[in-house]
Amino acid sequence: MSYEGAWMSGLRPRSTPTVAAASPEPAVQWARRVAGDGPVDWAVEHAYEFALHVLQEIPELDGTGGRTRMVRVGAEACVLQVLMLLFDDRSDVEMPDEQEQVVRDCVHRKVPLDRLFSAIRNTHAWVTRIFMDACIELAPPSQQVAELRRISSITLAVFDRYTERADVAYRAEAERWFAGDQATREELVQTLLTRDDADTDRISQRLRYPVTGRNHLGVVAWREAGTDAADDLAEAAAAWLRAAGAAEVLVLNRAESAVWAWGATPSPPRSVPTDWTHSGGVRIGHGTWHPGLQGFRLTHREARSAEHVAHLCPRIDSRVVDYRGVDLLAVLLENPERAKEFAVRELGPLAADDERSRELRETIRHYLELCSPKAVAERMFLARGTVAYRLRQAEQALERSLSERRLQLWTALVLADAIPPVPAER
- Model pLDDT, residue 90: 65
Query: How far is the C-alpha of 192 from the C-alpha of 226, rounded, in Å?
Result: 34
Q: Residue 113 corresponds to which amino acid?
A: L
Domain with CATH 3.30.70 in the chain: 208-331
User: Averaged in consecutive runs of 10 residues, what is the pLDDT profile of the chain (426 residues)?
Assistant: 72 82 84 90 90 73 54 84 83 65 78 85 91 94 92 91 88 75 86 92 92 95 65 82 92 80 90 72 92 96 94 86 94 89 92 90 94 94 94 94 94 86 46
Cα–Cα distances in Å, from 303 out to 193, 217, 308?
A: 14, 9, 9
- Number of residues that make up the chain: 426
CATH number of 336-418: 1.10.10.2840
pTM of the model: 0.63
Q: Residue 280 corresponds to which amino acid?
A: G
Beta bridge partners of 322: 286
Q: Residue 48 corresponds to which amino acid?
A: Y
Tell how strand 320-322 and strand 282-286 pair up.
Answer: parallel
Q: Residue 209 corresponds to which amino acid?
A: Y
What is the chain's Cα-based Rg? 24
Measured from the Cβ of residue 405, the count of other Cβ atoms closer than 10 Å reads 14
Domain with CATH 1.10.10.2840 in the chain: 336-418
**Vertex 191, ends 207 and 179: CA angle to 5°?**
65
The DSSP secondary-structure symbol of 420 reads: P
Domain with CATH 1.10.490 in the chain: 8-177
Residue 154 phi/psi, 5° resolution?
-70, -45
In whole angstroms, what separates CA 384 from the centre of its chain? 40
Q: Residue 398 corresponds to which amino acid?
A: L
CATH number of 8-177: 1.10.490
Per the CB < 8 A criterion, the answer to whether 42 and 17 are in contact is: no
Query: How far is the C-alpha of 104 from the C-alpha of 99, rounded, in Å?
Result: 9
Cβ contacts of residue 121 below 8 Å, gap of 6+? 159
Fold of domain 208-331: Alpha-Beta Plaits (3.30.70)
Closest by Cα among 319, 296, 162, 299 to 231: 319
- Model pLDDT, residue 222: 87
Question: Could you give the angle at which helices 355-370 and 373-380 cross, rounded to 10 degrees?
Answer: 130
The separation between the first and the last C-alpha atoms of the chain, rounded to the nearest angstrom, is 25
Per the CB < 8 A criterion, the answer to whether 116 and 103 are in contact is: yes
- Model pLDDT, residue 369: 93
Cβ contacts of residue 53 below 8 Å, gap of 6+? 126
